[in-house]
């Protein structure tokens, strides 16, 4: 069953471009890039299921998440769109492109490959669970608890975007931690057996130079599903090239979009 995704619309000119965030992210992560595209595109930034203001659900596999996006397009009357996805959102975008290619005019995948990764987010989950939500009184205090499990400040700041005030007082996480934790094996994987076909339209894979998510060894898997894929690298950037090097990222993106 699909869920109705929360979204923000940026601009109203030109063809549709849909942006899908990564795990523990939200639509706001991409508003800066979206604003830079509004002169030529009508940009939709979406909250995927179990994230930000979109509904929670027990199931969180890629066929389900891509079906949410397809349903969103139907609700908005979008016959097709350019789809851009980062990390987990990139896998959602790939799944959509292969299961419903008529809906995807062009595909842009940021720092992820159609493979199963061996690492996980145990440290992140441990950090989030370590915050006593009924006791903390500020983000600064919550960060102190996160720091006991996560020593990277930028990652903690990213995660703290999910901390919101609770109606009952105190704070709560607006991500569905229980579902994310239960579905982590499928989130880190990629459903090759459930992919009906390859995607032969224009496709761009963008990676951060310092990241290993789109390492050269994964290009064989990319070519299997996306035979005409192009590759570009953002120098000196890691897993979030659109945040770490936005100018270089936009230069690559604009070149591809034409």
What average pLDDT is seen over the chain?
A: 95
Biggest distance spanned by C-alpha atoms of the chain: 53
- What confidence category does residue 197 fall into, taking pLDDT thresholds of 50, 70 and 90? confident
In this structure, what token pair is assigned to residue 68? 């949410």
Mean pLDDT of 215-222: 94
Given 3-state DSSP classes, what are the helix, strand and coil percentages for the chain, each rounded to the nearest 5? 40, 20, 40
Q: Which CATH superfamily is domain 7-117+189-257 in?
A: Alpha/Beta hydrolase fold, catalytic domain (3.40.50.1820)
In this structure, what token pair is assigned to residue 257? 């979009």
Whats the size of the chain, residue-wise? 258
- What confidence category does residue 119 fall into, taking pLDDT thresholds of 50, 70 and 90? confident
In this structure, what token pair is assigned to residue 220? 């064989």
- Report pLDDT digits (tens) over 63-96: 999 999 999 999 999 999 999 999 999 999 999 9
The bridge status of strand 104-110 relative to strand 41-46 is: unpaired
Please tell me the distance from the alpha carbon of residue 126 to that of residue 108, in angstroms, as a whole number: 32
In this structure, what token pair is assigned to residue 218? 């994964």
Mean pLDDT of 109-126: 93
Terminal alpha carbon distance of the chain: 37
List 16's β-bridge partners, or say none: 42
Least confident range from 100-109, 119-128, 208-217: namely 119-128
Please tell me the distance from the alpha carbon of residue 244 to that of residue 6, in angstroms, as a whole number: 26
Mean pLDDT of 155-176: 93
Torsion sign, CA atoms 70, 76, 82, 83: negative
List 66's β-bridge partners, or say none: none
Instruction: Please give the pLDDT value at position 252.
Output: 98
Please tell me the distance from the alpha carbon of residue 121 to that of residue 145, in angstroms, as a whole number: 17
- The helix/strand/coil state of 168 is coil
Is residue 156 scored above 90 in pLDDT? yes
Instruction: Please give the pLDDT value at position 182.
Output: 96
Mean pLDDT of 185-192: 92
Phi, psi of 244 (to 5 degrees): -75, -35
């Amino acid at each position: 069953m699909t869920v109705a995704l929360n979204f923000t619309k940026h601009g109203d000119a030109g063809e549709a471009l849909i942006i899908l965030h990564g795990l523990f992210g939200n639509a706001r992560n991409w508003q800066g890039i979206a604003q830079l595209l509004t002169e030529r595109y009508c940009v939709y930034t979406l909250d995927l299921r179990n994230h930000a203001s979109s509904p929670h659900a027990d199931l969180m596999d890629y066929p389900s998440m891509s079906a949410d996006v397809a349903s969103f397009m139907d609700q908005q009357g979008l016959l097709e769109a350019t789809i851009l996805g980062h990390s987990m959102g990139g896998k959602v975008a790939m799944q959509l492109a292969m299961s419903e290619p008529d809906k995807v005019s062009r595909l842009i995948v940021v720092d992820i490959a159609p493979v199963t990764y061996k690492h996980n987010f145990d440290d992140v989950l441990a950090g989030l669970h370590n915050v006593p939500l009924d006791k903390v009184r500020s983000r600064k205090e919550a960060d102190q608890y996160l720091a006991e499990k996560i020593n990277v400040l930028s990652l903690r700041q990213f995660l703290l975007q999910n901390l919101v005030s609770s109606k009952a007082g105190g704070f709560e996480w607006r991500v569905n931690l229980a579902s994310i934790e239960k579905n982590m094996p499928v989130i880190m994987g990629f459903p090759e057996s459930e992919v009906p076909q390859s995607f032969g339209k224009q496709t761009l894979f963008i990676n951060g130079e310092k990241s290993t998510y789109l390492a050269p060894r994964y290009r064989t898997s990319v070519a299997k599903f996306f035979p005409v894929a192009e590759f570009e690298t953002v120098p000196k950037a890691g897993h979030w090239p659109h945040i770490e090097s936005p100018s270089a990222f936009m230069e690559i993106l604009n070149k591809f979009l034409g």
